[in-house]
Structures are given as C-alpha cells and as structure tokens.
Chain A
Amino acid sequence: MATALKQDEPNSPNPEGAENVVVRFAGDSGDGMQLTGGQFTLSTALAGSDLATFPDFPAEIRAPQGTLFGVSAFQINFGSRAIETAGDEPDVLIAMNPAALKTNVDALREGGLIIADEGEFGKRNLDKAKYETNPLEDGSLAKWQLLKLNISQLTLDAVKPFGLGNKEALRSKNMWTLGLALWMFERDRQPIVDWLKNKFAKLPAVADANIAALNAGHAYGETAEISGDGLGGGHLTQRKVGAAPSAPGTYRTVTGAESISLGLVAGVQLAGLEMFFGGYPITPASAILHHLSRLKEFGVTTFQAEDEIAAIAAAIGASYAGKLGITSSSGPGIALKGEAMGLAIMTELPLVIINSQRGGPSTGLPTKTEQSDLYQAVYGRNGDAPMPVIAARSPSDAFFCAIEAVRIAVQYMTPVMLLTDGYIANAAEPWQIPDVSTLEPFPVSFLKDMPEGGLKPYSRDAKLARPWIKPGTPELMHRIGGIEKAIDTGHIDYAPATHQQMTEIRRDKVLGVAESIADQDVALGEKGGKLAVVGWGSTFGPIHQAVRRAVADGKDVAHIHIRNIWPLPKNLGDLLKSYDNIIVPEMNTGQLKTLLRDQFLVDAKPVNKTSGQPFTIAEIDAAIEENLS
C-alpha cells in the first residue's frame, strides 16, 4: 500500500498470477516474535514484495511464561501484488508453544499450515494453555496441515559449539524459526546476518549462536524438502513470492512512529523553524519521543516532561518563544492535555498534537488499536474550542500527514491534532522515499518590526491568523493568556460582544482551513451511485480491498477515504449526497458517522468493530453485501 504506483493508480487491478501469503509468528512474549517478524519483514521488503504487518502483543512486558495472555504475535501479509492489509486469515502459523497455538489457530485458513515447536508441548505448558490433551497428537488440528518440529532441541543442537547455557541457547529459537521461514519463501539471509553482527557486536558468541541457529533453520528446510519427510502430516515446501510491481525509486520499510517523526522533522524544516518536542511515556506513542530524541542535529529539542500536561504546556511555551512546539500521546494522555489545548487555541499559537489512538476508555487496551478518539479530537475540550484534525491512513501516509499538520499549525496559528493509531504506529510497510526537493516549503515569517498604527498582537491576515512574535524582539512586547481578550490588542476583555465576536473568529479561522486542503476525492469507484463506503484512518486497507473486490464483481460501490476530519473538505457534503447509501466502517461505535450525519444531514450507517483488532476484508465485504441488497 506504500508505493507511489499504487497511490497514483488506486483503480489498477492486480496483475494476473499475482499472489500473496499471510504468515503469523506467535509465541511467548519472551520468545522474540516481534523481532522475528520485524526481520522477516525486512528481508521480504528487500526482495521487493509489497507487504503489511500487524504486530499484536500483550500490555505486559514479560507476562508469565507459557500463559494464554502472554502470547505475542506478528502477522505479515506479503505478495507480488499491492498489499493493503495485514491479511484476514494466515496461511501459515508458526506456534512456539501451546498458548500461542491456542490463541491463534482459529484465525488460520482451513488447510493452512501449522508449524509447531513440539519441544514446548509438555504437560506443564499444555496445562498453562488449558489444553487437556496434546493438540499435536489428538487430531483436533485435522482441518489444517500440521508440521511438528522440536525447534527447541534443534536450536540447542545448532548452538552447542558456542558454549551458551541452556536458557541463553534457547533464546536463539526465534532465529532458527526465522531461518526456516526465510527458506520457505526464498528470502535472503544476509541482511539478517549483518543485523545480528551489528546488534551483538559486543557479544560475538551470542551473534555467532544466533547466526548458527538461523542457518540451521534454513538448512533444515532444505534437508526436509529433499528427504520429503512429512513431519506430522504437513509438508515443508518452498514457495517463491515475487516482487510486487511498484514505481521506480528508492524504498525502505517504515513504521508509523518512524514516518511521523520523519514527517515532523521535514515539516519543521519546510517551515524554516526548529522543533521542540514535549512528551511523556505512554504506549503506543513513546516511539515518536524515542525517534526524535536521536535527531538533535536537525534542531530538535526533546523534553521528557513530568506528566502529559507539562509535556503540552512546555510545547506551548516553546511555540510562544518561537520554536514549533509538538507533543504526542495516546487517548488517556490526550485527555489530560485538553485544557492546555484550549490555551493554545485561545492564545492562537501553533502546536502539533499527535494522538496514537488505542482502545479506551481509561487505560483500556494499551497495546491494541481503536479509532475511538475522533470525538475527543474534534470536540473534546471545554468551551467552543475548534481545532483542525487530520488522520493518517498508513505508515507512509503519516509522513505527509505530519508535514500537513505542521503547515496548518503555522499558517493558521492554531493547534492541530494528527490522529494515528496503535496499528499504524507499530506496523511496517515498504515506503517509496520521497525526494525532499519535491516537498513544497512554507516558510514562517515572524513579525519583527512595529507595524504602522502600533502593535496589535491579535490583528489578522487573510487566513484570520494573528502575527507570531518572538519574545526577544525589541518594541513588540505584548501579553497573551487564556482569558478572553479584546479584538486586535489582546488585552483582557470579556465584554459580551467581545466574546461573541472572538468565538466566531476562532471558529471561522479553523473552518477556513478547508480553503487550503484538497477537495475530497473518491479513492476507488465512481462519483455517485448506490453505495459509498466512507472510512478514515487505518481502516483504509480493508475497506479498499473489499471495495476493489466488489467493483471487480461489477457492484456499484465506491470507497471514500477522509483525511481531513476537521474541517471536512468543502465538497464532501455534495459528494456524499450523490450516493443512495452510505456506510461508515470504524473501529469505534460510530464517531465519524455521527460527524457526517451532523454536518451534512446524510443517512450514514455505522459498521463498527471494537475488539482491538483491525477489520478483516471479509467483514467489510459482508457490510457491503448487506447494504447493497
């Protein structure tokens, strides 16, 4: 979903013979499944396949070993065609223990392949996974192909020469598994070997053991195939998934947290500013703080504050002082920042707020994804507190959304919220690296000289933005604050007429942002017709795939994907009214649906999912079917 080719030609059908495979790695949270998945992703990307991933891990860092709630999984969908979701049903499940098998096997497509580490299927682990009998032996997995391998023992044998203790040696299990997976899909081992050498540069024995395990897993695949040894009924065969057609250019893999960080750096540079980033650790937003704290040479100052409120308050202080203040959090932290967002709205200072949404309310589901902060983003502050809101649809899109958020913030002197979610933040995909010379600069000009007629800190330009004045500028001393203020001068003034007028100005300024954004397009399908499937954020993938299938079947369906949540694109109302039916699939109980109904008086119908898991294509298929009949 990342490549320019696909973005430019959303209607292009998949080439004949294209295929894709969904693999899920599942194990204990200590088994290194995220790492295995990440490295498999890298080698797959390097082979030119398109891909999307879905890391799914527990909130506990090291949950008790072998338990059902301690299972960590990583799913990757890769193929020689455009990939837009992490895949509905895995074709291959690699289960490192009984708990991983139990929590994941039902997702596996019928006839799919299970590779299980039978060395971990002893009584103790079976008990922990609440299996009464061993599923590898009792025939309960008959509708799938089963491959039983004693991965633990095979790993121990492979790393024996390196003299590691049993526990240490077993840590290489994930590399053995990765080696086997690389063999199965004809992926190159070298990038992983390089990565291991670099990662364990100070522990060469550990690096060597891991490389040996990787090679052993790979060799096992080769040997098993040659010997035709059907272990447990399943067959180990090699399958090559070719490169996906993509536009010429340079590519890398990128996660949402990375692309947002890069986009913010780019945006701040395009504005000719320096960045101040205030953050407080919270899942799944912390990764942005981590990335930015390593980019000091780009004029980035990062500040880990004492709490969420201090993080945004410091960002506001920095914006007042002439840097671009940015803060980032997830739902509960965003709630804490609410009052300070009002301050930025009232003082009309630029500010970017990143919200990596997660399941809520309260602590909710820290590591699972949801889109339930749309109300909070658009409405969630005291008073009439309008604020532009943008939502990213994928890791690569998040780069451009971050730039757009910076642009709106500085051009309109307003806080802007960028919505992403746990799925986008953690998922990786190939990304065609943009040529920075093609990014359009939007340099900020501070007010430096006394204007004719005297200083009016709340005078306005054509966009209704007030001037940005850096403290330190001679003669232009002025005071701002959260209390209502007079037109132009900004002096304290809460006369009835003043508040009426200032409220309207703040509203109109933010609504005016619609003048600077693109008209709403139709991502797939025709303008006008029987059914529009309207989405936002990370549901892009499953909706797009489902609509593509429906269109290919000759159905009158279109996909509309909204990036600007507030203000909405000017033509959106007319566009929506050109369809007989509108459905809005969202990972919440119907928040965009409510917004669309409110703004346009259209009969938008909700399609909701709040399980902490992304939509499957099949679920959207079903909703389309239901609403066409």
Chain B
Amino acid sequence: MNEMTKITTLKDWETDQEVRWCPGCGDYAILKAVQRTMPELGVRPEDTLFISGIGCSSRFPYYMETYGFHTIHGRAPAVATGAKLANPDLDVWIITGDGDALSIGGNHTMHLLRRNLDCQIMLFNNEIYGLTKGQYSPTSRVGTTTPSTPYGSVDRPASPCAFALGAGARFIARGIDIHKDLTNVLKAAHAHKGAAFIEIFQNCIVYNKDVFEEFAAKKTAASTQLLLGNGEPMLFEKGAKGITLNRDTLELEVVDVVDGDWQAAGVIVHDVTNKSVAHMLIDMPFGEFPMAIGVLYDDPRPTFEAAVVEQNAKASEGKKPDLQSLLNKGQTWTVTEDGPEL
C-alpha cells in the first residue's frame, strides 16, 4: 500500500464504544491524533493491531476500530512480539504508560527495543499512576507528593527516551498530547521500519495536573520547546536562539542568533541519524535548555521479525516437513513376528 493513499477516513477508525477517560484527560487528544493520522498512512484497519498493557492509556485499543488486545500489566511488548512473529504483515502499535512500560514492564520494553521488532510504541508519560489513584511513578520527579509518598518521593526518575536509546532503540521521538505536531511524529514513527519509540507528555488532569505546563503551555511554547526537524537548524524563540556544541566541553549550549544568521552562531543542523547528538538532546536539562520535541533519532536497521522469518526459511530450505520421517529419525529397529532386527 502506498503511503499517503487515503483508503479510509477518520470515522473508519472510531469504535462505537463510549470513551471512559476523565474529562479533560490528555488521552482524548492523543486518541484523536491517532485516529486523524491513520487515514494518512494508507493502511487498513484489518491489518492494524493495537496492543496495550494496563493503566489509563491501555484502554486505548477499545476505541480503535482495528484488531486490539488489552493485555496484562507491563506485558504488551511481549504479546506484541508473539503476534508480530506469528504474522509479520500486521501493523502493530503498542500503547503503554510510564508505569506499564518502565516499571512492571521495563524488562520487556528493553528487550523489544534491543531486538528491534517492527512496531510503534506510544508511551503516554504522565509521571503518575492514574488508574490506581495517584501513586508516584518511575518518571515522577524527586519530591512528588502522592498517597504512597506523603513526604515526597526520594528516588530519581527514569528518562524514557534515555532508557530507549540505551536499550538500542533506532527511533526515538517526543510529542505532547495536545500538540498539533503529534500527527507528524506518529507518521515518522510509522514510516520507520523497526521499533519506533515515542514518549508523549500526557496531562493527567486529576492526579498530576499540568506537570508539563512549564514547557507544554502554548503561550510560552516558542521559548520552551525546541521543535526538531531533520536537516534543519536547532532554533527556538522564533529563531532568536539556537543550540550549539561547545567544542571544548563537548556539551550543548544555548546561543543567541543575531539577524537570523544561525550559521554564524554555530547552531547545529539536526541529523536524525546522529546518535551522540540524540543522546545530548535527550539529556538537555529543562530550564537551562528548551525541551526537545519531535524526532530525536531515526536510524533504521534490520528488524527482528525479518531476521526470524529469514532464518526460518533458510533452515527449512530443501527439507520436507514429513512427520513420519521425523518420528523415524535416528537409530531404529524393527520387530517382526520372529523378533527384533536392526
């Protein structure tokens, strides 16, 4: 199927199920973004499989008019691996959250990324356990006060994108639930052959309201977000500032851009295949730097299921799947009415 061939409309991707998220939840915006994106991918609902774990985000498959599997806590990547190996033609999307993917299912997330199963992983990061009523999560910042941490959390948070990069992911992107650019991130993820990891900052209106507001708020976005485009200079603040590499410290720095001359300011051009820069973009401390949004890293390599299919085919070459001869393999002897003989 050609990319961009519209064979469906948004309506084709909506189920008749009543959506059960809290009013104002960021999940609604993500659901709409996905349903809006699907027709543009030129894919068919019957070839599409949404697989989720447990948590608020994991109800997602029930609202997509595709094949869907709401599995158990943390195990969606493992279920997805089996489904994709069983039928590599399926277009597999994994819907997960910060607790699901990084706490109880951290092991599976790591192995799916290292194996490079062709799928899209959408990690809805709201830095909280919503469905269990607001305990701190592995991405909650130090000092997060919740029912299980009444005096504030003391453990340091995990960085989803750094985790993904460390695990060997070849596509890493960030998006914001209500951001209109989320669609483009989804399209890029889908176009990437292999495991495409997307961290989506998702606002939990009830238990962690506006935790991303400092960079997600629309009115300050120009100065708080670095919107990445492959081959484009890393500019923000309407082009007045940019990101450069300090060649002495080998660290990123914010520089002022005068009269739009970003080259003179030494602003870096984003190359999605540069892993070292991707690492630095992921690690940029917010405040001193803007938050990097968009495709951080995209450098495909052969996928797991393709390698499995290839090896299975090669190992089967010239062999007949004859059950009787399989059973008769090895040293056998025959017993006749007169007794045994070799």
Q: Residues on A close to B: CB < 8 A?
A: 42, 45-48, 191, 243, 246-253, 262, 265-266, 269, 274, 276, 278, 295-299, 301, 303, 305-307, 309-311, 313-323, 325, 339-340, 342-343, 347, 433-436, 470-483, 491-492
Contact = CB atoms under 8 A, between A and B. Distances in A.
Counting chain B residues whose Cβ lies within 8 A of the other chain, the interface size class is 35 or more
Nearest to B319: A297
B79 A314 contact: yes
Nearest to B80: A317
B312 to A, nearest CB: 5
Contact of A303 (B46, B85, B321, B335): B85
Given A269-B323, A317-B82, A477-B46, A251 B334 contact: yes
Interface string B1-22: 0000000000000010100000
A314 B80 CA distance: 7
Nearest to A298: B321
Given A296-B315, A297-B319, A307-B107, A343 B331 contact: no
Contacts of A482: 70-72
B339 interface: yes
Interface stretch (B59-67, B152-160, B250-258): B59-67
Contacts of A313: 71-72, 75, 78-79, 82, 108
A295 B85 contact: no
Contacts of A266: 323, 327
A482 B52 CA distance: 11
Contacts of B339: 48, 243
Contacts of B329: 252
26 contacts: A191-B331, A248-B336, A248-B337, A250-B332, A252-B330, A298-B326, A306-B108, A310-B81, A310-B111, A315-B82, A318-B82, A318-B83, A320-B83, A321-B83, A325-B86, A342-B72, A433-B332, A470-B87, A472-B46, A472-B67, A472-B90, A474-B46, A477-B46, A477-B66, A479-B61, A479-B62
Contacts of B330: 252-253
A248 B46 CA distance: 53
B82 A303 contact: yes
B335 A247 contact: yes
Nearest to A252: B332
B248 interface: no
B276 interface: no
A497 to B, nearest CB: 19
B68 to A, nearest CB: 4
Given A46-B333, A491-B17, A317 B67 contact: no
A47 B340 contact: yes
Contact of B332 (A251, A319, A472, A483): A251
Interface string B100-121: 0000000110110000000000
A184 B94 CA distance: 64
A433 B81 contact: no
Interface in B41-98: 44-47, 49, 51, 61-62, 64-72, 75, 77-87, 89-90
B237 to A, nearest CB: 44
Nearest to B44: A474
Contact of B49 (A295, A471, A476): A471
**Chain B at the A interface: SS class:** mixed
Contact of B85 (A48, A298, A301, A306): A301
Contact of A262 (B65, B86, B327, B333): B327
A319 B80 CA distance: 11
A454 B332 CA distance: 54
B331 A297 contact: no
B339 to A, nearest CB: 5
Contacts of B328: 250, 252, 433
Nearest to B330: A252
B324 interface: yes
B90 A321 contact: yes
B327 to A, nearest CB: 5
Given A46-B331, A248-B336, A492-B62, A480 B81 contact: no
Interface string B304-324: 000010011001100111011
Contacts of B72: 313, 339-340, 342-343, 482
Contact of B335 (A246, A481, A483): A246
